[in-house]
Structure 1
Amino acid sequence: MTAPVIGVLALQGDVREHVAALAAAGADARPVRRPSELDAVDGLVIPGGESTTISKLADIFEMREPIDKRIADGMPVYGSCAGMIMLATEVLDGRPDQRGFAGIEMTVRRNAFGRQVDSFEAPVEIAGVPGEPFHAVFIRAPWVERVGAAVQVIGKVTGGPAAERIVAVRQGNLLATSFHPELTGDLRVHAYFVELVRAA
């Protein structure tokens, strides 16, 4: 079976880590920073990083309209942490000048779990990802405060002060988590996305 070609938006953030995890999960993974490179992929990952910086660089590298068009055409996209913010239709506590790709009908709160020093790890059960709860790493992470009717909530924090906060969602071919699976060595979320791309 041919490996799906999955790009990682390589403007800022955890690019190498996502490329490595996708490759280990069976994808032909490559960094993407130009429209011509986007044309060659079957799916895209928007990595964790700094959402306002990614927003600015998407304009500088002329990637915003091509990504918007591919999302509208049904290309699978997975956003982690800052990538979740970039896929949201509404962002609370964001900068007024930051713009995302607005693919998933949800409201996210930027840096909801606190600053860098408040980073933490917690178990998250993810619908569609078999096995034990995912050991999730949260770094200046958002959470989801509201979802639209078309959005599936597929993961919530299961314990601690953040219990029941929504941290993983899916809307059609779009997937988002507020945590960083690329930092854990657990490939299940990446494998889930690879299969989503393959099915599309």
Structure 2
Amino acid sequence: MNIGVLALQGAFAEHLAALRKLGANGVEIRQRADFHAGLDGIILPGGESTVMGKLLRELELYAPIRDAIAAGMPVLSTCAGLILLAERAENNEKTYFALMDITVRRNAYGRQLGSFRTTTDIAGIGPYPMVFIRAPFISSVGPKAHVLATVDGHVVAARQQNMLATAFHPELTDDLRVHSYFINMIAQVNANCCQQQTA
């Protein structure tokens, strides 16, 4: 299984390490040529969403990645990656891929001093240690998406079909279950595609 990891900034190396531990092949996406038809899924890591959005356009990665996700490519988005996916931003007029039926609030927990750790249940996974760094949260979820986890009444993980989004950083813990969940998502998508082709 080949999974692309957007490697423009943020903790992409930690995502690659998690994939390696689970037996998946992680591919760094740094330029348009790196994003190719052989990828089964993509991870949009944390970082700074404004910078990432600018680099995606400058490197001509914006359109091919957006089109692939819109066509059903599985995606795991964490922290800033969550902001890239959201259709709406509560405290920012700018949106990016705008594919997931959620509204986000950038820097919802404050700046660096607002970073924290906690443990809470994720639907389909169970209790999970969460690391938040200048994190957003999901302030509202539309009918196309569903909530997977909340912290203090705020949505911090959601899923919409092929899109999995977290406000926290699963790559910064030793717990591989979020990445494993994502790999299972990819396997399900691949299985469904095979069934449709043989139907």
The TM-score, its normalising length taken from structure 2, stands at 0.91
Shift in Å, 1:84: 0.5
Q: Distance in 2 between matches of 1:124 and 1:103?
A: 26
Counterpart of 1:160 in structure 2 is none
Match for residue 147 of structure 2 among 149, 153, 171: 153
Counterpart of 2:195 in structure 1 is none
Q: Distance in 2 between matches of 1:51 and 1:193?
A: 22
Q: Distance in 2 between matches of 1:138 and 1:18?
A: 16
Q: Deviations over 1:13-45 (max 9, x none)?
A: 111011101111231112112233211311000
Match for residue 81 of structure 1 among 65, 79, 82: 79
| Matched ranges for 1:6-45 at <5 A | 6-39=3-36, 40-45=38-43
The one-letter amino acid of 2:141's match is V
Q: Distance in 2 between matches of 1:14 and 1:174?
A: 19
Q: Distance in 1 between matches of 2:141 and 2:95?
A: 19
Q: Distance in 1 between matches of 2:120 and 2:64?
A: 33
Q: Distance in 2 between matches of 1:140 and 1:80?
A: 12
Q: Distance in 1 between matches of 2:121 and 2:96?
A: 27
Q: Distance in 1 between matches of 2:120 and 2:54?
A: 31
**Count of aligned pairs:** 188
Q: Deviations over 1:164-194 (max 9, x none)?
A: 2100000001000000010011100011001
Unmatched runs of 5 consecutive residues or more in structure 1: 158-162
- Identical aligned residues as a percent: 47
Q: Secondary structure at the match of 2:69?
A: helix
Q: After TM superposition, where is structure 1 displaced by more than 6 Å over at least 4 residues in a row?
A: none
Asked whether 1:108 is paired with 2:108, we answer no
Conserved? CA contact 1:26–1:191, under 8 Å: no
| Greater helix share, structure number | 2
The one-letter amino acid of 2:31's match is R
Unmatched runs of 5 consecutive residues or more in structure 2: 190-199
Q: Distance in 2 between matches of 1:99 and 1:166?
A: 19
Larger relative contact order (Cα-Cα within 8 Å, sequence gap ≥ 6)? 1
Counterpart of 1:178 in structure 2 is 167
Conserved? CA contact 1:21–1:182, under 8 Å: yes
Q: Distance in 2 between matches of 1:55 and 1:124?
A: 30
Alignment RMSD (CA, Å)? 1.1
Match for residue 188 of structure 1 among 177, 180, 189: 177
Q: Distance in 1 between matches of 2:157 and 2:129?
A: 13
